[in-house]
Amino acid sequence: MTGTIIENLSGRKLAVLVSFLLLCQVACFLIGGLVAPMPANAQNILGTVCRDTATEKNDTSTWFYNRGKGACKTVDLGDFNQLFTEHDIVFAFQMPVPRESMTLDYSRWQQNLIGVLQVDIRYHSQMEVKPRSIITVDARLAYRNKGDPDDAWKLYTQSVEKRHLDCDIDIKTEEYLYNCSAIPLFELGSLYHDYYLLNVRLPVDAPGMNANIGHIQDMWLTVINQNGGFTKVWVSLKTVFFPCIVAIIVWFWNRVHMLERKPVLLEKMLLSLGIALCLLNMPLEYLTLQFDLPFMLLLGDIRQGVFYATLFSFWLVFAGEHMLIQDTTAQSSLKQYWRHLSAVAMGCISLFIFDMCERGVQLRNPFYSIWVTDLGTNLALTFIVLAGISTCIYFLFLCYMVWKVFVNISHKRATLPTMCSVRRLHYEGIIYRFKFLMLATLLCAALTVIGFILGQVAEGQWKWDENIELEYTSAFFTGVYGMWNVYIFALLVLYAPSHKRWPAAENTSDSQNLSEEIEFSPLPSETASEISSLTSFIRKTNVD
């Protein structure tokens, strides 16, 4: 057996490789912390109360906006002397709002747009808001681009949606406002156009419709979009990492096929992990600069889910392959890990179903949200809580498996003094390197679990009722992403088959040559079916 590069690489070369990878990891953190802006922007827009004087109220060719030629006529909802009805009121939100007298527009680099409504309801003794009221919203979203006339708004989508309105008030006085929860309204998977316009009506077409929502004084829209500068940094990292990982996968698999044996399970898992990382690294965001691709959010979730599933499965197999202390002549297979892998598969399938129920339906109706009903909210929170608990349990179980590996290695290490000095020094060097790699694996797993949980909370904090204040930095996102690439790159390099062989003559007496052979060369008597001499050593019961 030739062994792996991690076993045969000289200490000097290994130190150079590890130093280079650590510099790449530090660079990813610094790029996120010093170059990239915050991942997302949030902007609050006060709705303009427009008066619809047209006879036909449901004409989609008529749009109400507050800036530019043809701006709407505004009304004051606090003036009860004005003659208008609920049918005449339209709340207009023109996005984005100007800043410092400069007209801004959306960039396709900003990727997506989320809209959340907040209503200001003034207390009135004769119009009290009932708990858990239902508010019906007739929402219409339009767009236009640079160069279009101010009134050239085109329909993007429309829908009549019902939302729960949770309000409470501390002091019931006419001048006080209710404290109402935010209302998730829409989510766009792409920002292909330059300007967007939202018109919101509160219809009263049916008896009891919008009858218990009190006196609405103002309506706010919070729009959240990915920061274009962060997207450029993120895609730049993908552009750099993608060809590097593809090249190292080709190199790794070519070295595996040069051997006179079939690939073992760990090598197949490494290949699968590399392919999953390539799928995640593909800079498909460049396509959104040219095409309108509203499914990119869903596709991104699927790609990340495939990577998580493969990475978690690999860690189980990676630790499990070094726990087998019994004698075995057959190669390991995934059947031995079906219990562990089925748990990972169930978790990933559950998250996929949840994602399809949310963003899958939003491809047809951006105003749809699973959070708007009690059942949907409970299911969504259940999925997120279970996902967080499952990942924590997984990490604890992985720590247990790594501890078992260290116990098995320590048990086997007790037999090292009975070996000849060449074998003893050889195995001690391999064990030290392997322990360092396992500790790096635990660190990578811990940061991955933290990133997964924080990502789920960040996605839901605008949609559930709980007020969770979280602050994220670009350095964490780019650092964890770079860590995945550096870690998997290191695994593919270090666990690639080595072409160095143990010298035919073992009677060398020169101490300098002997130490070189001890540190860098594999042993000739190991089983050819194993990926490394360490796995052979752990499985072996009778040692020299």
Distance CA 90, CA 139 (A): 10
Distance CA 21, CA 235 (A): 20
Statement to judge: residues 167 and 22 lie in one domain: no
Distance CA 365, CA 373 (A): 16
The last residue of one of the domains, among 176, 209, 226, is: 226
Distance CA 453, CA 390 (A): 10
Statement to judge: residues 404 and 492 lie in one domain: yes
Distance CA 285, CA 283 (A): 5
Statement to judge: residues 297 and 219 lie in one domain: no
262 in helix, strand or coil?
coil
Q: Positive or negative CA dihedral for 364, 367, 372, 377?
A: positive
The last residue of one of the domains, among 226, 261, 278, is: 226
Q: How many domains does the chain have?
A: 2
The number of helices, as runs of H, and strands, as runs of E, in the chain is 13, 11
CA angle 100, 102, 106 (to 5 degrees): 115
Task: Output the pTM of the full model.
Answer: 0.82
Distance CA 34, CA 37 (A): 8
Distance CA 231, CA 235 (A): 6
Percent of residues in the chain assigned helix, strand, coil, to nearest 5: 50, 15, 35
Q: What is residue 181's predicted lDDT score, i.e. its pLDDT?
A: 84
Six-digit token string for 17? 């490789």
Across 257-269, b (16+ Cβ under 10 Å) vs e yields: eebeeebbbbbbb
CB 348, CB 433: distance < 8 Å: no
The last residue of one of the domains, among 173, 193, 226, is: 226
Q: Positive or negative CA dihedral for 42, 48, 49, 51?
A: negative
Q: At what angle do helices 338-355 and 296-320 cross, to 10 degrees?
A: 170
Q: Over the stretch 48-100, which tens digit does the pLDDT of each residue have?
A: 998 887 766 666 678 998 888 888 888 877 665 566 677 788 999 999 988 88
Statement to judge: residues 143 and 79 lie in one domain: yes
Q: Give the total residue count for the chain.
A: 544
Tell me the CATH number at 370.
1.20.1070
Distance CA 55, CA 43 (A): 34
Task: Let me know if residue 238 belongs to a domain.
Answer: yes
Task: Let me know if residue 364 belongs to a domain.
Answer: yes
Statement to judge: residues 460 and 433 lie in one domain: yes
Q: What are phi and psi of 133, to 5 degrees?
A: -75, 155
How, if at all, do strands 48-51 and 215-226 pair?
A: unpaired
Rg (CA), the chain: 30
Task: Let me know if residue 150 belongs to a domain.
Answer: yes
CB 95, CB 195: distance < 8 Å: yes
Mean pLDDT by 10 residues, the chain (544 residues): 70 87 90 87 90 72 86 76 74 89 88 90 82 88 91 91 86 82 89 93 83 85 91 94 95 87 86 94 93 91 91 86 53 75 82 84 87 78 79 85 81 65 62 77 83 66 50 78 91 79 43 39 42 55 40
Per the structure, the complete domain to which residue 526 belongs is given by 5-39+229-504+515-539
Statement to judge: residues 363 and 427 lie in one domain: yes
Statement to judge: residues 214 and 276 lie in one domain: no
Distances in whole angstroms, Cα of residue 303 to Cα of each of 250, 281, 332: 21, 9, 28
Statement to judge: residues 212 and 284 lie in one domain: no
What's the half-sphere exposure (Cβ side, CA atoms, 13 Å) at 399? 10
CB 405, CB 316: distance < 8 Å: no
Q: Which of 4, 530, 496 is nearest to 248 (CA)?
A: 496
Statement to judge: residues 154 and 13 lie in one domain: no
Statement to judge: residues 68 and 23 lie in one domain: no
Torsion of CA 378, 380, 383, 387, to 10 degrees: -120
Residue bearing tokens 């749809």 = 368
Task: Let me know if residue 350 belongs to a domain.
Answer: yes
Task: Let me know if residue 509 belongs to a domain.
Answer: no
Task: Let me know if residue 378 belongs to a domain.
Answer: yes
Statement to judge: residues 49 and 154 lie in one domain: yes
DSSP H or E run through 543 = none
53 in helix, strand or coil?
coil
Distance CA 433, CA 491 (A): 12
Task: Let me know if residue 338 belongs to a domain.
Answer: yes
Task: Let me know if residue 544 belongs to a domain.
Answer: no
CB 468, CB 457: distance < 8 Å: yes
Q: Note the Cα 132 to chain centre separation in Å.
A: 33
Secondary structure in 3-state letters for 109-121 = HHCCEEEEEEEEE
Distance CA 267, CA 497 (A): 9
Q: What is residue 82's predicted lDDT score, i.e. its pLDDT?
A: 64
Statement to judge: residues 469 and 397 lie in one domain: yes
Distance CA 347, CA 433 (A): 33
Q: Tell me whether residue 224 is exposed, middle or buried, using C-beta atoms within 10 angstroms of its C-beta: 0 to 12, 13 to 18, 19 or more.
A: middle
